[in-house]
Amino acid sequence: SWTTHSVVEEQVAAIRAQVGTKRAICGLSGGVDSAVAAALVQKAIGDQLTCVYVDHGLMRKGESEQVEKDFVAATGVQLKVVDAEERFLNALAGVSDPEQKRKIIGREFIRVFEQAQAELVAEAGADGEEVAFLVQGTLYPDIVESGGGTGTANIKSHHNVGGLPDDIEFELVEPLRQLFKDEVRMVGTELGLPDEIVHRQPFPGPGLGIRIVGEVTKERLDLLREADAIAREELTAAGLDREIWQCPVVLLADVRSVGVQGDGRTYGHPIVLRPVSSEDAMTADWTRMPYEVLARISTRITNEVADVNRVVLDVTSKPPGTIEWE
Ligand code: XMP
């Protein structure tokens, strides 16, 4: 019979048997899967594990702190944080094309992660230890999807964190490969991870970089982070987090419209709210959420976020629209 407790016990034993006395590395993305995988491996081998978190500067408000503080507090894991915001912003300067943004972010991510990895391997080597394992939060559906060869159309180049580098040889540790998402969340809770991590809604690897229509700049990111934080706060306060699959908040940086505030004319940007209901993100419908909540979000965003004078609601299902705008 399936109990989270027995899954944890089994996996802990399996990880110990696989890794022995060697060392392992795990990339954290801020997402549920890598967090639970890391927590499980930490429980099994403790300080033989080091986690790496690449902060690309494209995360939402408070998310990096969640990894750097809450996750570390809950697990006691050794964490190496790489602050790569400037590098990512430089690489993205002048780029508006969505696919190009995705490629740049994916490429930079792998470079930064590999460099951090190589440093850890060298440091351990200096202590006479060998880093031989890479932990990945691969789930059962990931394996079915990629091995099934069902030929899902590649609409957007999906970039997933922790892509396996080809030049350093690691053996993979994949303690979640028999689990579905809801089981992974149960295991996370069993391991003592906070709800904000365990019940986090999906968020794309390229982060807010693909939620700014137009060039990505620090200023625009800060603006979008504020708007997004307000929307998340109000959705949570209204108790809608479980009902809504996710709600991308998008900045139309290349669009301006006329508004009026106080007794002055404004010429600002629109923010798009994209609340969707879905089972698996393959298809989705726009969420019919209460007008009062929409009104509160709209009022707060236009009052509190400088340079935003309009909030619009995306009422497109998927298909034809994708969940993300880019
Ligand atoms: P779309 O926009 O294709 O998104 O309808 C489907 C789901 O995938 C998420 N998404 C990503 N997740 N890396 C990820 O890890 C990505 O590059 C990426 N792009 C989209 C999106 O948030 C939605 O849940």
The string of DSSP letters for 280-314 reads: SSSSBEE----HHHHHHHHHHHHHHSTTEEEEEE-
Cα–ligand 1 centroid distance for 17 (angstroms): 35
| Coil vs helix vs strand at 135 | strand
Angle between helices 85-92 and 98-126 (to 10 degrees): 150
DSSP 160: -
203 CA closest ligand 1 atom index = 22
What is the best residue among 58, 59, 156 to mutate for testing ligand 1's pocket, by most ligand atoms within 8 Å of CB? Answer: 156
**Which pair of structure tokens corresponds to residue 156?**
């957007």
Q: Cβ contacts of residue 231 below 8 Å, gap of 6+?
A: 247, 249, 273, 297, 301
106 CA closest ligand 1 atom index = 17
Contact 230, 100 (CB under 8 A): no
Q: How many CB atoms lie within 10 A of CB 226?
A: 19
**Which pair of structure tokens corresponds to residue 99?**
């696919």
159 CA closest ligand 1 atom index = 17
202 CA closest ligand 1 atom index = 24
Residue keyed to tokens 């999807």: 145
- The more confidently predicted of residues 168 and 299 is 299
Residue keyed to tokens 């060039």: 215
Tens digit of each residue's pLDDT (9 = 90 or more) over 148-170: 543 344 455 544 444 444 566 89
**Which pair of structure tokens corresponds to residue 167?**
């030049």
* Torsion sign over Cα 239, 241, 247, 251: positive
Tens digit of each residue's pLDDT (9 = 90 or more) over 15-44: 999 999 999 999 999 999 999 999 999 999
Cα–ligand 1 centroid distance for 326 (angstroms): 9
Can you give the pLDDT at residue 270? 98
**Which pair of structure tokens corresponds to residue 10?**
């089994």
Residue 79: its H or E element: strand 78-83
What is the best residue among 33, 107, 160, 323 to mutate for testing ligand 1's pocket, by most ligand atoms within 8 Å of CB? Answer: 323
**What proportion of the chain, given as a percentage, has pLDDT over 70?**
93
Give Cα separations from 239 to 160, 182, 193, 256, 294 (angstroms): 29, 19, 21, 32, 13
Residue keyed to tokens 């306060």: 237
* Torsion sign over Cα 303, 311, 240, 230: negative
Domains of the chain, each with CATH number or no CATH = 4-198 (3.40.50.620), 211-313 (3.30.300.10)
Tens digit of each residue's pLDDT (9 = 90 or more) over 216-255: 999 999 999 999 999 999 999 999 999 999 999 999 999 9
Query: Is 32 labeled as ligand-binding?
Result: yes
Q: Cβ contacts of residue 154 below 8 Å, gap of 6+?
A: none
Tens digit of each residue's pLDDT (9 = 90 or more) over 183-196: 999 999 999 999 99
Query: Is 262 labeled as ligand-binding?
Result: no
Give residue 132's identity as a one-letter amino acid code: A
Query: Is 33 labeled as ligand-binding?
Result: yes
| Longest CA pairwise span in the chain (Å) | 70
Q: What is the mean pLDDT of residues 46-54?
A: 98
Ligand 1 lining (C-beta closer than 6 Å) = 155-156, 158-160, 202, 204-206, 246, 281, 318, 322-324
| Coil vs helix vs strand at 40 | helix
